[in-house]
Amino acid sequence: MADKKRRGEDAGDDRLHDDIVDDVADDDATDAEEPVSRGGTATRSRAKAESADSRPKTKTDTDRVGLFGRIARFIREVVAELRKVIWPTRKELLTYTAVVVAFVTVMLTIVAGLDFAFAKGVLWVFGNPS
């Protein structure tokens, strides 16, 4: 039964496979008449050629940046991102903190209550050995 479910042996897959083969045959027949930008291997090779031409050509662009240069650039980018942050006011910060503490307290109470109830239930079902 598992062999019938394998790809390519199902009747629906055979139908799809035939359509794909027909489409590929149609594409091969019309490649000479259509522009290359439609897709396919010619487009991929052209894209590779374009990416090869877009390499940096100046000496400063081709030099590798050292370890300290990369660290300095990282720190500059971190500072630039931190400047974009909208920092909360003191009132907002205290409100958000109170909401988080209240939520954690409620969840802690629920989990502790469930833990206690399940512990008592297990002891009731299996008996207390002492």
Q: What is the pLDDT of residues 28-73, one digit of tens each?
A: 555 555 555 555 555 555 555 555 556 555 555 556 788 999 999 9
User: Considering the domain boundaries, does residue 71 fall inside one?
Assistant: no
Q: Whole-prediction pTM value?
A: 0.40
Expressed as residue numbers, the domain containing 32 is 7-60
For residue 27, give Cα distances in angstroms to 21, 30, 45, 103, 118.
10, 5, 18, 61, 67
Whether 66 maps to a domain, the answer reads no
**CB count in 10 Å sphere of residue 21:** 10
Helix, strand or coil, per DSSP, at residue 29: helix
Report if residue 36 sits inside a domain: yes
Q: Is 129 contained in some domain?
A: no
Is 79 inside a domain boundary?
Answer: no
User: How many domains, in total, are found in the chain?
Assistant: 1
Q: Is residue 55 one of the residues assigned to a domain?
A: yes
CA-based end-to-end distance of the chain: 56
